[in-house]
Amino acid sequence: MSQVPLERKVLKENDLIAAQLRERFRLHGTLCLNLVSSPGSGKTTLLERTLASMAPTERVAVLTGDIQTENDARRLARYGFPVKQITTGGTCHLDARMIERHLAGWDLSRIELLFIENVGNLVCPSSYDLGEAAKIVLLSTTEGDDKPLKYPSIFFKSELMVITKIDLLPYVPFNIGAAEDNARLVHPEIEIVRTSSVTSHALARWLAWLERRRQQFRATHDTAMV
């Protein structure tokens, strides 16, 4: 069997499982968000600050992916919410089967918001549906502002672009206006939030977007359940 038909078969099987996951999330009222970025863009730190801002009664959980270590899960578990590490053993992305397997033992009816922290990569994760309600792509100011043009697939498929580390703008050659324009060239409807995990005001913009998205999801779910 040639490589292309095999790849199509793998993606087809993944999409079938992803569709089943999406239906499970819908039935249980679980908003699932898939965070994607290149390594070092600040996914784990953003999640740390996000979890730290939430009340202990919030029904939140995290699945975090890494090629080898469990470091991210240990960092995120400190905030008291359910966290599981998905170690891929070399695979450069998460797939729907991994998500399905690691949800075992969790009662989705008790999880209103599920974060999936994907493996650091802008290429492979764009091809794999995980059953999420939305992909969120992170772009840090320590990267190139032309990333949306170089890796268009993930920016096209993402509902939101989070520009991280804006506190470093005075010190790095990053044109934030150009980065936003490039993202909109690829995906005119993409939402954009500028953030900093060390600046409370900038972090508030991400938290406000997240709360709006949760409210939209709740309203849609409640209507569907009537």
Q: Give me the pLDDT at residue 89, please.
A: 87
- Where in the sequence is the domain holding 165, given as residue range(s)? 3-225
Q: Decide: residue 103, CB within 10 A, 0-12 exposed, 13-18 middle, 19+ buried.
A: buried
pTM above 0.75, yes or no: yes
Rounded mean pLDDT, 40-51: 97
Nearest to 64 by CA among 116, 20, 18, 24: 116
Q: What is the CATH number of the domain that holds 149?
A: 3.40.50.300
Task: Read off the pLDDT band of 1 (50, 70, 90).
Answer: very low
Q: How far apart are CA 122 and CA 74, in angstroms?
A: 24
Band (221; pLDDT cuts 50, 70, 90): confident
Our count of domains for the chain comes to 1
Q: What is the pLDDT of residues 165-200, one digit of tens each?
A: 999 999 999 999 999 999 999 999 999 999 999 888
Average the pLDDT over each of 76-80, 145-149, 200-204 and give the range with the smallest value.
200-204
Predicted pLDDT at 122: 96
pLDDT digits 0-9 by tens, 17-31: 999 999 999 999 999
Has residue 126 got a pLDDT over 50? yes
